Structure 1
Amino acid sequence: MNLPDGLLGWQWAVTGWGIYSIVMVWALKTAPWYKVKNDKNAQHVWFGAAFLLILLWSMSASISGGFSFHFLLMTTITLMFGPQFALMAMTLGLLGVTINGEEGWGMFGLNALLMGSIPIVLTWWLYKLAYRYLDRNFFVYVFLNGFLAAGLGSLLAMLSAAGVMYWGEVYSYEELRYNFLIFIPMLVAPEAFLNGFIIASLVLMKPEWVSSFSDADYLKGK
């Protein structure tokens, strides 16, 4: 979901931009650039994924209060490219819809944190935990890292947005309960299914596009 401009005070906008800037500096400094520097195919896949985000996020559904909902697809992007490049793709996607006039610049940083950074971090954290502590097989990868991570990421992003609106004194709990929270279950399940389906399809047909997946780890000898 996206928070529209004017919904929160300038303090929230400045805070969002400040934290987002720190996150992006980290991403730019720590990204494994060597993996894509001379790999034209990887660069094309990344730009294609970022363009897909622009298209997907442009197809949003609006409800009362100016909120718009759309699929995040952050779990898929994170598993494909890693957290740093996922943050960059998310930024490019959000830039695209903002330049098209569908979102405002004031809430850009806060929206990037809510619908980008939160699900990206959660997805990567779950992936690392599963890789370390669970059996490495195709089903664990797809259902845990794909379906479950996407669903939890979407849930946490929307609950965080609700928390921001509550603490920002935009809406009371009762207003959020009947006008926002009620939509969360209807969005979490499709987000989980879409990401899980895409990841399953990619690791079967284009595993070289998914940097977090390895045949040796998840398929060989299973």
Structure 2
Amino acid sequence: MLLNELFAFVLVLLSLGSIWKDVTKVFLPKLKNERTFQHLTFAVIFALTTLWSAQASVKEGLAIHFLALTTLTLMYGWRSAYALSIVVSTILAIIGTIEFSQLPEYLLFSCLLPIWVSYAVFLLSYRFLPRNIFVFIFVAGFFNGAITGSTHLLFNSLYIAWHGTYDWPTIVDNYLVFVPLLAFPEGLLNGMSLAMFSVFKPEWLRVFSDRDYIYNHYHKK
């Protein structure tokens, strides 16, 4: 299915253009000039590499793992988060967790699309729900992580079915069946992470503002 791999590769190339300005104008200068940000980013890369390496599968090609992409997206913004996911995915290919030939598909379906979902859910919560820290933790964190993890499995399932690797009943019985089992722990992982960061290290969250989520809430009262 060379056409499928080529399609994923082209989409990944196009996506790089959308993150170029943010990465070069914001992320890289901050990474170069701030030692604390360097340590944080390298720790994030190591943590994600370890987390994504711990994959489980019933059948070959139907691997599942925790994402933590909601936390990554809210820490760095979706563009820089995607850039970091490229670094982590490349490391996974180097150490043999995934094949280099699978890298474009992996970047598209296990990185870019879940990151977009995470950012979209955050934007919707920011726009339509009350702006307080509890909404941020439970909606933008917990429920966002659960939704992102579930849609990630759905995206992969649809692509695998389109690719023709397995038929749909096999995918449902050996892959989609894990959606209810993974949704809660994925949500818990992201919700707890964002709860700790918003309380102890709010400066680590690019989308978090004390003015929006804490001070405005109490001033309105």
- One fold, TM greater than 0.5? yes
* Structure-2 residue corresponding to 1:148: 143
Checking the alignment, whether the CA contact within 8 Å between 2:62 and 2:174 is kept in structure 1 is no
State yes or no: 1:61 paired with 2:50.
Answer: no
* Aligned amino acid, residue 61 of structure 1: A
State yes or no: 1:114 paired with 2:109.
Answer: yes
State yes or no: 1:33 paired with 2:25.
Answer: yes
Partner SS for 1:171: coil
State yes or no: 1:218 paired with 2:213.
Answer: yes
**Runs of 4+ that moved beyond 6 A:** none
* Aligned amino acid, residue 5 of structure 2: A
* Structure-2 residue corresponding to 1:86: 81
Partner SS for 2:101: coil
* Aligned amino acid, residue 80 of structure 1: M
Deviations 1:64-92 (A, max 9, x none): 23432111110000000101110011111
Deviations 1:20-41 (A, max 9, x none): 1111221122447346253332
Equivalent residue in structure 2 for 1:197, among 168, 171, 192:
192
Following superposition, the deviation at residue 42 of structure 1 comes to 2.1
Q: Which has the higher helix share?
A: 2
State yes or no: 1:24 paired with 2:19.
Answer: no
* Aligned amino acid, residue 78 of structure 1: T
* Structure-1 residue corresponding to 2:180: 185
- Residues 32/147 of structure 1: CA separation in 2 closer, same or farther (3 Å cut): farther
**Residues of 1 paired with 2:4 and 2:104: CA distance?**
9
* Aligned amino acid, residue 88 of structure 2: G
Deviations 1:167-221 (A, max 9, x none): 2222222212212211221112211110111111111111111111111111115
**Residues of 2 paired with 1:81 and 1:192: CA distance?**
19
Unaligned runs of 5+ in 1: 1-8
**Residues of 2 paired with 1:135 and 1:219: CA distance?**
11
State yes or no: 1:168 paired with 2:163.
Answer: yes
**Residues of 1 paired with 2:11 and 2:201: CA distance?**
35
**Residues of 2 paired with 1:32 and 1:133: CA distance?**
32
Partner SS for 1:219: helix
Following superposition, the deviation at residue 58 of structure 1 comes to 1.4
Partner SS for 1:103: coil
* Aligned amino acid, residue 156 of structure 2: A
Alignment of 1:70-85 (within 5 A): 70-85=65-80
- Residues 179/105 of structure 1: CA separation in 2 closer, same or farther (3 Å cut): same
Checking the alignment, whether the CA contact within 8 Å between 1:16 and 1:107 is kept in structure 2 is no
* Structure-2 residue corresponding to 1:99: 94
Between 51-60 and 70-79, report the one with greater CA deviation: 51-60
Q: CA RMSD in A?
A: 1.6
Partner SS for 2:100: coil
Higher relative contact order (CA 8 A, sep 6+): 1
Checking the alignment, whether the CA contact within 8 Å between 1:166 and 1:172 is kept in structure 2 is yes
* Structure-2 residue corresponding to 1:3: none
* Structure-2 residue corresponding to 1:12: 4
State yes or no: 1:159 paired with 2:154.
Answer: yes
**Residues of 1 paired with 2:20 and 2:38: CA distance?**
16
Count the aligned residue pairs: 214
Checking the alignment, whether the CA contact within 8 Å between 1:62 and 1:69 is kept in structure 2 is yes
Q: Percent identity?
A: 29
Between 46-55 and 82-91, report the one with greater CA deviation: 46-55
Checking the alignment, whether the CA contact within 8 Å between 1:126 and 1:149 is kept in structure 2 is yes
